[in-house]
Structure 1
Amino acid sequence: MKSSTGEHYPALDHIRGLAAFMVFTFHFLHASPDAPVAYSFVPALPLFSILDEGHTGVSLFMALSGYLFAKLLDGKQVRYLPFFANRALRLLPLLLAVICVEACRRYLAGQDIEKYFTDVGKGLIFPTLPNGGWSITVEAHFYLLLPFLLMASRRFLFAPLLFIAAAILLRIVLYEQLGEVQSAAYWTIIGHADQFLAGILAFHLRVYANGRHWLALAVLAAFSGFFWWFDAAGGFYRLAPHPSPRWIWVILPTLEAAVYSFGIAYYDTTFTKKRTSLPFRIMEKAGSYSYSIYLLHLFFAFELAAFINDNVMNISNFYVACLWSAVCFLATIPIGYLSYSCIEAPFLRLRVRYVMPATADPTPVRAAPAAAASQLG
């Protein structure tokens, strides 16, 4: 999608589409604890464990946000009040529509509406917004910190590492005090800060990821192996009890941050030529409408999986279920387009420019050599 600056990065839309597919597939596969694919199932191929634990797609979204905003705002003077207004125009219309639809659904189902709206009110701070809206709360917290993070990164290139270390230390303290840190690590900025920060750092160090094919394969293999172990140990829901008291949630956000930020920088810098073949165009469209797909899919993904499993064919086989998930995900792209066109696009036209022309920075950042950076566009 084009930002209000007029810049558009199709490669990053591919990644956004992949993240949406990961989250969609996680919900599709595990519509209930035992169906269509049981939580206890572990794929034989380690790479598929990332899809089986597709909740990690949210972390990919977060790392992409950090990378994208560092890319959009690098070397520019930013007017932050218009920036915050633009983000509100981008996120709030559809979120408010989803909140209203969910309220109607709960009312018709005879559920407690007063408690629901209390949770919506708490959603400004706590992860209580419906249909994945909790992650919008995390994004909003990131936007409030963004001016400070960008300023620190300009003054000291590796400042994000210091903040990541502070986030890890905070999770250790919470783990010692509460006996579990999964709640904070997955549902709040306390965990996802690592991914935003790593995305910012990855942008500034992106030249070192350019063309590193063997390194990218090694990172993917290692990450797949780790997630295979995590999946076999119980994964998101079965590192019992839930929320899990296991120590892995202290460092899992950091591992995701490192891998995803490197992968984003690698893909963005290595494959600079616009790809026009059908699969890439589909992923670009999925990325363009990913916000709508992400917020809307929980209205139907569980029921869709159950309907296929009960009325079309048995999809308890993990790989068959993944194929069906891909088909259903493709079918949501037109829904995402309609949502984008009718709800999001009218408000996006109200956005204003929030960046000033690039100026010489009196505090130069130690970044990639100019010649190398110019090759990356």
Structure 2
Amino acid sequence: MKSSTGEHYPALDQVRGLAAFLVFTWHFLHASPAGPVPYDFVPALPIFSVLDEGHTGVSLFMALSGYLFAKLLDGKQISYLPFFANRALRLLPLLLVVICIEACRRYLAGQSLDGYFTSVGLGVLFPALPNGGWSVTIEAHFYLLLPFLLMASKRFVFAPLLFIAAAIVLRSVLYVQIGEVQSAGSVTIIGHADQFLAGILAFHLRARAKNQHWLALAVLMAFSGFFWWFDAAGGFYQLGGYPSPHWIWIILPTLEAAAYSFGIAYYDTSFSKKRTSPPFRILEKAGAYSYSIYLLHLFFVMQLAAFIDTHVMSISNFYVACLWSALCFVATIPIGYLSYTCVEAPFLRLRQRYVDREPETAASTAAELGSAIADRPTSFSRP
């Protein structure tokens, strides 16, 4: 999607679409602990474990956010008040609609709304917003830290590594004190900070990922192998219980951050031509409307999986369920389009430009332009 700066990166929309598909499939496969696909199922092919543990799509979203904002804001002077206003215009309208829809659903079901609105109020600080809105809280916390992170990265390109190390230390301390860190690592910025930071670092080091095809394959295989082990050990819900007491949650966010940030930088720099084959175009469209798909899909995805499993055909087979998930995900894109058009787009038109080129960069460009004009021939022929 085109940002308020006027820039648009279709390849990154494709990555965003992939992240949305991972999350959609996670909820489609695991509507309940028993199915359609049980939590304890482990795919034979390691790459499919990333789909079976599709909650990791949120981490991909976060790494993409860090990379994209570094890409949009690098070398530019930022007015942060319009920046924060733009982010509010981007995120809040649809989030408020979702909060209202969920309130109506609970009211019609005869549930009390007092506790619900209390949790919504707490969502400013804690992961309490409905339908995946907890990740919006994490994004908001990231935006507040972004000016400092960009300044630090500009002065020292490896500054994000220091912050990632600090996050690992913090999770280690929490693990020692509480006995588990999944609660904080999976749904707060304490865990997801690694992905934002790695995304920023990956942008600055993106040239080192360009055309590294063998390295990209090695990273994919290693990451798939790790997630196959994680899935087989119990995954998100069954690794010693929930929340899990396993120490892997100390470094799981970091491993996701490393793999996803490298993958984003590799994909962004290694394929200059726009990919227009149907699968990539579908992913790009899904990425353009991914925020709507992400917040709205929980209203129907589990019921949709149950309906197919009960009235169409059994989808207890993991691979069959993944195919159905892909079909349903594509069918959800028009819903995302309608939501984007009716709810998001009217507010996006109110956004203001918040970046300018850095003074020294602008001056340098002006000098280069002046030199180019001076070197041009003084006579011109008519066309």
Q: If the TM-score is normalised by the length of the shorter chain, which range does it land in?
A: over 0.9
Task: Map 1:1-377 to 2 at 5 A.
Answer: 1-360=1-360
Describe the superposition over 1:33-85 as per-residue Cα deviations: whole angstroms up to 9, x where unpaired.
01100000000000000000000000000000000000000000000000000
Consecutive unaligned residues of structure 1, counting only runs of 5 or more, are 362-377
Shift of 1:112: 2.0
- What is the Cα-based RMSD across aligned positions, in Å? 0.9
Amino acid at match of 1:121: G
Shift of 1:227: 0.2
Shift of 1:162: 0.3
Shift of 1:357: 2.3
- 1:369 maps to none
Shift of 1:173: 0.4
Conservation of the 8 A alpha-carbon contact between 1:194 and 1:254: yes
Amino acid at match of 2:128: T
Consecutive unaligned residues of structure 2, counting only runs of 5 or more, are 362-383
Between the aligned partners of 1:89 and 1:180, the Cα distance in structure 2 is 36
Conservation of the 8 A alpha-carbon contact between 1:75 and 1:359: no
Between the aligned partners of 1:315 and 1:117, the Cα distance in structure 2 is 36
| TM-score, length basis structure 2 | 0.94
Describe the superposition over 1:236-281 as per-residue Cα deviations: whole angstroms up to 9, x where unpaired.
0001221000000000000000000000000000012111222111
Between the aligned partners of 1:54 and 1:63, the Cα distance in structure 2 is 15
Between the aligned partners of 1:62 and 1:238, the Cα distance in structure 2 is 24
Shift of 1:321: 0.1
Shift of 1:206: 0.1
Query: For this pair of structures, how many residues does the alignment match?
Result: 362
Shift of 1:204: 0.1
Conservation of the 8 A alpha-carbon contact between 1:49 and 1:227: yes
Conservation of the 8 A alpha-carbon contact between 1:37 and 1:316: yes
Between the aligned partners of 1:189 and 1:360, the Cα distance in structure 2 is 34
Aligned partner of residue 243 in structure 1, secondary structure: coil
Aligned partner of residue 77 in structure 1, secondary structure: strand
Amino acid at match of 1:99: I
Between the aligned partners of 1:308 and 1:172, the Cα distance in structure 2 is 43
Between the aligned partners of 2:230 and 2:296, the Cα distance in structure 1 is 28
Shift of 1:20: 0.1
Describe the superposition over 1:310-340 as per-residue Cα deviations: whole angstroms up to 9, x where unpaired.
0000000000000000000000000000000
Amino acid at match of 2:62: M
Between the aligned partners of 1:156 and 1:212, the Cα distance in structure 2 is 25
Shift of 1:285: 0.4
Aligned partner of residue 360 in structure 1, secondary structure: helix
Shift of 1:110: 1.2
| TM-score, length basis structure 1 | 0.95
Between the aligned partners of 1:359 and 1:39, the Cα distance in structure 2 is 55
Conservation of the 8 A alpha-carbon contact between 1:198 and 1:257: yes
Between the aligned partners of 1:317 and 1:48, the Cα distance in structure 2 is 13
Shift of 1:358: 3.4
Aligned partner of residue 360 in structure 2, secondary structure: coil
Between the aligned partners of 1:155 and 1:358, the Cα distance in structure 2 is 15
Describe the superposition over 1:105-150 as per-residue Cα deviations: whole angstroms up to 9, x where unpaired.
0011111210000000000000000000000000000000000000
- 1:375 maps to none
Shift of 1:14: 0.3
Identity of aligned residues (%): 81
Between the aligned partners of 2:184 and 2:317, the Cα distance in structure 1 is 33
Between the aligned partners of 1:59 and 1:212, the Cα distance in structure 2 is 23
Aligned partner of residue 143 in structure 2, secondary structure: helix
Moved more, 277-286 or 20-29: 277-286
Tell me which structure has the larger Cα radius of gyration: 2
